[in-house]
Structure 1
Amino acid sequence: MSRDEPVTLGGGERLPRYRWWQAFSRSLFHLQLAGGNGSLQTWSVDVRPGGDADSVVRARLYLDGVHQATAKVPAAFPVPGGTIEVAVSAFGVKRSHYVTFDGRERQLSPDPSSAEGRRARLDRTHPGVSRTLGVASMVVLAVALVLGIPQILEQITQIPPVAETVGTFSSPVQLPGWVNISLLVATLAASTERALRLRYNWLLDGGLFGGD
C-alpha cells in the first residue's frame, strides 16, 4: 500500500456495538493474534466507508474491544507480527488485510452482524448461489464498461476545447435513456456486491475514473 496516513493514538473507548441498521454504513472486521504471553488477542478494525461527520473516512483499531489507534484511509496499523492494512473504494472497504513481516497476507474476518459478514455466511452456506452472484456481478460490470465508455467518450469530445484539440467522437453504442438508467442501477448493485466480498479491480470497480 501507498499513501498511508499518520496513525494517532486512541483514547481507550470501547468498541461500539454493531447495530443492524448500520449494514451499509459501517464495516467491522476482526483478527485474532497471539499476544506476548501467548494468549489470543482480538484486533478489530471499524470503518465508516461513507465518512465520519466531517466526511473524512477513517479506520479505527481496537484491541479486545478497546480503542488503540485511528488513521485516515488508506491506513496501516502496526500489530504483532505485521501490519493491518485498510483501504476503501466508492462502494465500501476494498482491503482489510493482515500482512506479516515476511509478506504473507490474510484477510480479516468480517463481523457476523455486518453486511460483509452476512455475505460471507451466504458463501459458506450456499456456495453455488454465492458463485452465481459473483459471476453475475463481474458480467454486469464488464458489460457496463463496454457499453458505457464509448458514450462517455462521445460526451467528453463534445466539450468545445476538447473537440478543437482532438476532434469529436461518435459512439457506435446509442442506448435509450431507460436502458442506461437500468444499467447504472445494475452496476451499483454489482459493485456493492463485490465490495461486500472485498473484491476490487481498478477497471471494473471504478478505479479508472476514481484516480486509482
Structure 2
Amino acid sequence: MTAPRPRSLRARLAERRAKEGDGRPLAPFRWWQALSRSQLSLSIPDATGSATEFTVDVHQLGDHADGTVRARLYRDGALASVSRLPARFAVPGGHIEVAVGTVGLRRCHFVPAVGDERQLAPHPRSAEGRRAAFDRDHPRASRVVGILSLAVVIVGAAIAVPQLLATLSQIPLIADSLGSFTSPLTLPPAVNAGVTVVVVLAGVERALRLRSSWLDDLAT
C-alpha cells in the first residue's frame, strides 16, 4: 500500500490561512469575467456513491473591499472556505491547492492523500476553459502555440536577467562589494516595452493552461 504523502511546512502554513465560509451561493459566471475570474471544479464521490461538487473561484483583480486576491472554495454551490493565496483547502480524500503567478493561475489541483494529483476542470466560459476547448478541438495547433509561448518566455528571461543584474549592480552596497556589471544587451525603452508586452501575452497563454512557473515571473 502506498503511504500518504507528507505535508511540507509550506503546505501547513497554507492550510492555516483558510477560514470558514459563510455559505453564500456561488455567483454565476458572466462572459465579461473571462479574463478576470478563474473558476475550476471537481466532483469527489463518497462511500454512498453520490458525489460532492467542489468549485474554486478566484477573482484575479482582487476583492472589491481591499484588493487582495483570494481563493474561495464552494461545496455544492455554497461558500465553504476562503483563503489568501497560495491556498490549501481540505476536502474528502485530500486537499485542493491553489496558487497564482504574475499573470494568472499557476496551480489549481486536487492532491489526494494517496495517488497522483490532478487539475480541476475549468468553467467552459472562463479563459482557462476556452483554452482547454481549443486544446481539445485543435490539439496540433495547441501544441504549436504552447511551444511558441514557452520559447517567448525563455527569450524574455534571457533578455531581462542581464539588464536586471546590471541595474542591481549599481546599488552602492553591491557595487562596493562585488563590483558593477554591464549588460551585454541593452535595449531602448520602447523595444523593452514591446518585448514585455509579448512576454506577458505568452505568460498569459501559459497561465491559461496552468503551466506558468518562476520562469514566467522572471521574464515579466
Tell me the TM-score normalized by structure 2.
Answer: 0.88
Q: Distance in 2 between matches of 1:6 and 1:182?
A: 38
Are residue 157 (structure 1) and residue 148 (structure 2) matched?
no
Give runs of aligned pairs for residues 1-212 of structure 1, distance below 5 A.
2=10, 3-4=13-14, 5-53=16-64, 54-202=66-214, 204-206=215-217
CA-CA distance at 1:112 after TM superposition: 0.3
Distance (Å, rounded) in 1 between the aligned partners of 2:180 and 2:144: 40
> Where does residue 5 of structure 2 map in the other structure?
none
Amino acid at match of 2:83: A
Tell me how far 1:103 sits from its aligned partner.
4.1
Bigger mean CA offset, 170-179 vs 132-141: 170-179
Q: TM-score, normalised by structure 1?
A: 0.91
Structure 1 position 11, deviation (Å): 1.3
Return 5+ residue gaps in structure 1 as ranges. none
Secondary structure class of the residue paired with 2:40: strand
Q: Quick one: percent identity of the two aligned structures? A: 46
Q: Figure out how many residues of one structure are paired with residues of the other and give that number.
A: 208
For structure 1, which segment, 14-23 or 144-153, has the greater mean C-alpha deviation from structure 2 after superposition?
144-153
Q: Distance in 2 between matches of 1:83 and 1:144?
A: 34
Q: 1: CA distance between counterparts of 2:21 and 2:47?
A: 21
| CA pair 25-120 structure 1, distance change in 2 beyond 3 A | same
Cα displacement (A) at 1:57: 1.7
- Tell me how far apart the structure 2 counterparts of residues 181 and 105 of structure 1 sit (CA, whole Å): 38
SS at match of 2:17: coil
Distance 1:20 1:209 in 2: 30
**AA matched with 2:59:** R
Deviations 1:20-41 (A, max 9, x none): 1111211000001113431122
Aligned-partner residue type, residue 29 of structure 2: Y
Q: How far does residue 160 in structure 1 lie from its aligned partner after superposition?
A: 2.8
Distance across 2 between alignment mates of 1:69 and 1:158: 46
Query: CA shift at 1:18, angstroms?
Result: 0.4
Post-superposition shift, 1:44? 0.4
2:106/2:213 contact within 8 Å kept: no
1:175 is paired with a residue of what secondary structure?
coil
Aligned in 2, Cα 1:61/1:126: closer, same or farther, shift over 3 Å?
same
**Which letter does structure 1 place at the counterpart of 2:99?**
A
Structure 2: 5+ residue runs without aligned partners? Answer: 1-7
Residue 42 of structure 2 contacts residue 54 of structure 2 at CA under 8 Å; is this kept in 1?
yes
